[in-house]
Structure 1
């Protein structure tokens, strides 16, 4: 538990698919895909990854000029790229913003997250594609965060950090009760995570409440 962190330091698709990073088997098919993926960062991505922010959940109508106006107040922007569909030209609702200095990128990451831009609350974090070892993008079953409706939530990021695992120690005079609690916990986990497929947010909440009671 000494090395435990709510934010992943290395990307592991199996752990990312677990609410507390302790699952030993994938609980949805996307995790299986991510575990078998061999992903290399897009060759078209350039610039300093340590000075680059990932901005998501944008309004489809938000333009590059609007983003520049909003994010330039945190510091000098070196490059801004709003990702668009190569065929239609429509915004994919996320962008990458590279600043000229570390102070600016840290300030923007801290203050711009959940900022409302064109009636949409945006999500802001450091770029992870080139900075988090083992990274697998959402389209391959990886990523972090995710929508509740999809049932394929990913944990270990700023949006959905890991919840601290609960380890029930067995000491003198506690063996019988502790053993029974452990078996109950294991049966609960097997029942909840045994079948593969899509899961909704309600099952995650049920598991969390179960752990809290234990």
Structure 2
């Protein structure tokens, strides 16, 4: 638990399916599927992954031109790709934006997240597929953050980071009562209350 972190450094489907990254067995079938997946990043994708942002939760009507207009405010764009269905051509509501400079990527990730674009609050983060070792996409049971209609949650990302494990760094006092000074105060109150009760009880017996 010493190397625990709120954000995943290496992708592990089992940990991503756990609220604090400490699960030892999958709690839904999608995690089982992700653990058995042998996924390799799309070789057809070009560009520098370290200069690329992932943009999701887009309005289905949002176009490449609109995205370029919004994200060009943060720096010079090298290339922009709005992912569309190969058959229908409809937007899949997510895109990738590659900048020419690192400072532009950092600025856009910081300022464009939760920005309203065509009445939709977008989510912006660094690209994961080519930068996070072991990555498995949501369609194979993996992914980070967000929530599917099935209610399957995934943790370890910016949108839904891991929660701090309860037993992380717990000392003897915390393990006894989980609260250090607060536990001592509560324990002392209980003891004092019990002493007062016994004094009252024995005083009643004397009459």
**Category of TM-score, reference length = shorter chain:** 0.7 to 0.9
The equivalences for 1:65-104 within 5 A come to: 65-104=65-104
Structure 1 segments, 4+ long, off by >6 Å, are: none
Distance change in 2, residues 1:57/1:87 (3 Å):
same
Tell me how far apart the structure 2 counterparts of residues 140 and 2 of structure 1 sit (CA, whole Å).
Answer: 30
Equivalent-residue separation in structure 2 for 1:2 and 1:125 (angstroms): 26
Partner of 1:33: 33
CA distance in 2 between counterparts of 1:100 and 1:170 reads: 49
State the partner residue of 1:107.
107
Residue 185 (structure 2) aligns with: none
Residue aligning to 2:120: 120
Unaligned runs of 5+ in 2: 178-207
Secondary structure in structure 1 of the residue aligned to 2:125: strand
- Is the 8 Å Cα contact of residues 18 and 155 (structure 2) preserved in structure 1? yes
Tell me the residue number matched to 2:23.
Answer: 23
Provide the residue aligned with 1:184 in structure 2: none
Judged with a 3 Å threshold, the aligned counterparts in structure 2 of structure 1 residues 92 and 148 are, in CA distance, closer, same or farther, namely closer
SS at match of 1:150: coil
Matched, 1:171 2:168: no
Q: Equivalent residue for 2:131?
A: 131
- Report deviation, 1:72: 0.1
Deviation, 1:146, is 2.5
Q: For residues 102-132 of structure 1, give each alpha carbon's deviation from its aligned partner in whole angstroms, at most 9, with x where no partner exists.
A: 0000000000000000000000000000000
Alignment partners' CA distance in 2, 1:7 and 1:150: 24
Residues in 2 aligned to 1:145 and 1:167: alpha-carbon distance in whole angstroms: 23
Q: Distance in 2 between matches of 1:143 and 1:47?
A: 22
Maintained 8 Å contact 2:16/2:156: yes
CA contact (8 A) 2:26 2:32 kept: yes
Three-state SS of the structure 2 residue aligned to 1:22 is: coil
Is there any run of 5+ residues in structure 1 with no aligned partner, and where?
A: 179-214
Once the two structures are TM-superposed, the CA of residue 58 in structure 1 deviates from its matched residue by: 0.1
CA contact (8 A) 2:31 2:141 kept: yes
How far apart are residue 170 of structure 1 and its match?
Answer: 6.7
Larger Rg: 2
Q: How many pairs were matched up? A: 176
Q: Is the 8 A contact 2:147 2:154 kept in 1?
A: no
Residues 29-84 of structure 1 show CA distances to partners (whole Å, capped at 9, x for unaligned) of 00000000010001211100000000000000000000000000000000000000
Q: Name the counterpart of 2:57.
A: 57
